[in-house]
Amino acid sequence: MPSLRLGNIAPDFEAETTAGPIKFHEWIGNSWAILFSHPGDFTPVCTTELGEVARRAGDFAKRNVKLIGISANGLKDHSKWVEDINDFGARYGPTNVEFPIIADEDRKISTLYNMLDEQDATNRDAKGLPFTIRTVFVIDPKKVIRLTIAYPASTGRNFDEILRVVDSLQLGDKHRITTPVNWNKGEDVIVHPSVANDEAKVLFPEVTFHKQPYLRTTPLKVSE
């Protein structure tokens, strides 16, 4: 099946999770959502990632973002794995995995979202089924896919970057701006190209017009 693209509606599905059965779109509700996959339970990189996400859960909640993981194991393994994650993660701060983890032993959801590593013959389970690659989907309240990132199985994700992109997307939706290279929340932003210069002066009184006529920057005061 073709890869999902930015702007596509995230496919809906029903699944068993560590927090009980869900219908994905219903579970998202009016929130943003991050769906992130893992090659398998009891794997070292994934354990560090889930511990970090658990510690940062408050940062995502402040942005109205729900978190949900998916791994190619059953609920019994997931429950035991969560104990490991909480135990290992505690050395870096309070860690409690409260977000759901989807059980996807048959890879149905991983196939639906094109998460499977079909190329690497070494990344397979005992039955020969491919594991999921380390994929991230950021989905908005309209169930539209706004970001996809795919990492190799050997490389842990940077959740500071994922939070940064969420900030950029949410501010862009609200304020008709885009964000420049290496931007972080609180720094100057770029006025969206669709905003005419006269309108920019009204919307953004501190706007700066640069030598390049298509580039206009402005501070953006936002509440936390």
List of residues 6+ apart from 150 with CB closer than 8 A? 133, 134, 135, 136
Verify whether residue 46 is a known catalytic residue: yes
List of residues 6+ apart from 74 with CB closer than 8 A? 103, 105
d(CA 149, CA 158): 11
Q: Name the E strands within 140-184.
A: 145-151, 177-178
Catalytic residue among 15, 46, 115, 138: 46
For residues 157-189, one letter each, b for 16 or more C-beta atoms within 10 angstroms of the residue's C-beta and e for the rest, the string is bebeebbbbbbbbbbbeebbbebeeebebeeeb
Helix (H) or strand (E) holding 210: none
Amino acid 16 reads: E
Helix (H) or strand (E) holding 67: strand 65-71
Q: How far lies 165's CA from each of 34, 120, 129, 172, 213, in Å?
A: 12, 29, 32, 10, 26
Q: Active-site residue numbers?
A: 46
